[in-house]
Structure 1
Amino acid sequence: MFKGSFVALVTPMNPDGEVDYVGLKKLVEFHVENGTHGLVSVGTTGESATLPFEEHIEVVKKTVEYAKNAIPVIAGSGANSTSEAIFLSKQLANTGIAGFLSVVPYYNKPQQKGMVAHFEAIADATDLPVLLYNVPGRTVADMLPETVAELAKHKNIVGLKDATGDMERLKQTQALVPDDFLLLSGDDLTSCEFLCNGGHGVISVTANIVPAEMAKMCESAAAGDFAEAKRIDQSVAAFHEALFIEPNPVLPKWVLYKMGLIDSAFLRLPLILPELQSKKVIEDVMRATGITING
């Protein structure tokens, strides 16, 4: 269902702060043309934290519209309030999405049993598949493998985006969940290793910039050609690091702007444009990988 390379899609914005739907359409078409296997709309990389519900829902709807059923769209629907996550999931359910990505509640640091209750309540409120998202570097709270295994018993909870970058954690989770429970890497730096150790795919920030390469890496790993997967990964590895020297999605937006794929690198406060030194670093990576810099 959700295997291969899914891009954690940025939400392009005009200099006045409004969503740039022309730019969004261009990005969706770019990914369809370059073999991306699916899109995640309005996740963390899509600036979900600063999009109000109405705008969040509209961006997801437009992403589905622009994808034209060529590739599936997963909607970010997480919140640190269970009632808000349920409300958002219900509002998004009839937009044509293929499923949800729901993050571990941030800031309020729920207990493991609290996480189980939170995600079960969300999954009970929809008939669509739900992917869990564990990113303790952002949420502080860490969903343990035993908790994932408990949640995997729910018929609507089909997989996990694991952004820990910990291969031992992957092995622990694999030992506890059914074979058909999807395990997706949310950490670009270790994504190839994750795939080579039995992961089913990635939800990638790097794929915003080099979608064809990330898709081919996933396809090679799925076919058992780990040498080719590692070769491709090495060719884009500089992006795995450089894109994160400032908070995501600051630099992905800057690169897409310099590629001419969006007209503005605007971000909503409290995020701002990258520092001059960061621009130099990422543009050096672009040159080194043969990506043309506009302007």
Structure 2
Amino acid sequence: MTNQLASARGVFAIAATPFRDDGRLDTAGIDRLTDFYVACGVDGLTILGIMGEAPKLEPEESLAVIRQALGRTRLPVIVGVSASGFAAMHRLARESMDLGAAGVMIAPPSHLRSDDQILAYYAQAVEAIGMDVPFVIQDYPLALSVIMSPRVIRTIVQNHASCAMVKHEDWPGLDKITQLKAFMAEGSMRPVSILCGNGALFLDFEMERGASGAMTGYAFPELLVDVVRLQRDGRRDAAHDLFDAHLPLIRYEQQPGIGLAVRKYVLKKRGIIASDAQRKPGSSLTGTSRAEVDYLLARLARHDKRAAI
């Protein structure tokens, strides 16, 4: 399974977690959302990530989401298991793998500052989940305040055979991708998959720098699939033209604080989820913001009919 993720390419959609207006899990919505991602042509799913509101779920709710998503698709599913303590991480990781997950994703806690602290944390995390569990490094300094240099990432990969993937979300981070690919080319770093996040804000050039694909949750995952495919086919201008048409909405969705509200609002307008509610604490869009999103969708529909909703 480690080899499967280490060679993964394409798009792993970061799944939102649908709730009812009253904050309860929308179990029917999980099935509809999973089916939607599969129909968009994604290569895998990542559930219980930061944008999946994982910290707001009770442990049994997390397991229910995992069980339902894994029972709905045969695509590889990565489960976010980041937790404040290793006991909770161990349980969620082991139960996820027992249910058929392809691997787990681990984000570093925000208090880590030095390279030695980061390396020690991942060593302890691997010990906690088990060395047989494939894991993904989440490199997201903008949200987590932890800065991992390419050399630190290389050391984690080299120290732990179960490390299969890097979720790259540094910003600016294009040169980091280039450096990691150079390590792999020279043989000083074992080849692993590099999937990029940041709401796909830089996906056009990330693919050109050698990224394996995307792992993010933009409300039009079909766009992510198309851009990755076009870049692979060598159709650079076509990839950039399509990406540029979506860029205003991608940018709007990437705003700190309301980004998930934007994403859920669009998914609701597309008929994928019944409610755009977030579990508290959460954000919501003002009437003006909703009108701006509607305007962006109308403009996008001139270039991509999938936005005509």
* TM-score (ref. length: structure 1): 0.91
- Give the Å deviation of 1:136: 1.1
Given the alignment, which residue of 180, 189, 198 partners 1:173?
180
In structure 1, the partner of 2:236 is 226
- Listed one character per residue, the Cα deviations across residues 76-112 of structure 1 (whole Å, up to 9, x for unaligned) are 1112434432332123221111111111213x23432
2:78 and 2:278 mapped to 1: Cα distance?
A: 22
- Give the Å deviation of 1:179: 6.0
Indicate conservation of the 8 Å contact 1:200/1:222, yes or no. Answer: no
Larger relative helix fraction? 2
Q: 1:83 to 1:224 in 2, by over 3 A?
A: farther
In structure 2, the partner of 1:146 is 151
- Give the Å deviation of 1:226: 2.5
SS at match of 1:224: coil
Given the alignment, which residue of 82, 85, 108 partners 1:81?
85
1:257 and 1:221 mapped to 2: Cα distance?
A: 30
In structure 2, the partner of 1:122 is 125
- Unaligned stretches of 5+ residues in structure 1: none
- Give the Å deviation of 1:223: 3.2
In structure 2, the partner of 1:45 is 51
Percent identity reads: 21
One-letter code aligned to 1:225: R
In structure 2, the partner of 1:190 is 202
Given the alignment, which residue of 212, 223, 234 partners 1:213?
223
One-letter code aligned to 1:132: I
Given the alignment, which residue of 299, 302, 305 partners 1:288?
299
User: Pairwise CA RMSD of aligned residues?
Assistant: 1.8
2:240 and 2:274 mapped to 1: Cα distance?
A: 33
Consecutive aligned runs of 4 or more in structure 1 exceeding 4 Å deviation:
none
Indicate conservation of the 8 Å contact 1:159/1:181, yes or no. Answer: yes
- Listed one character per residue, the Cα deviations across residues 118-153 of structure 1 (whole Å, up to 9, x for unaligned) are 222333433232110011111111122111001111
SS at match of 2:138: strand
1:112 aligns with 2:115: yes
In structure 2, the partner of 1:272 is 283
Q: 1:49 to 1:79 in 2, by over 3 A?
A: same
1:225 and 1:232 mapped to 2: Cα distance?
A: 11
In structure 2, the partner of 1:135 is 140
SS at match of 1:93: helix
Given the alignment, which residue of 210, 215, 218 partners 1:203?
215
Q: 1:179 to 1:227 in 2, by over 3 A?
A: farther
* TM-score (ref. length: structure 2): 0.87
Q: Within 5 Å, give how 1:81-100 maps onto structure 2.
A: 81-100=85-104
Given the alignment, which residue of 258, 261, 268 partners 1:257?
268
- Give the Å deviation of 1:38: 1.1
- Unaligned stretches of 5+ residues in structure 2: 302-306
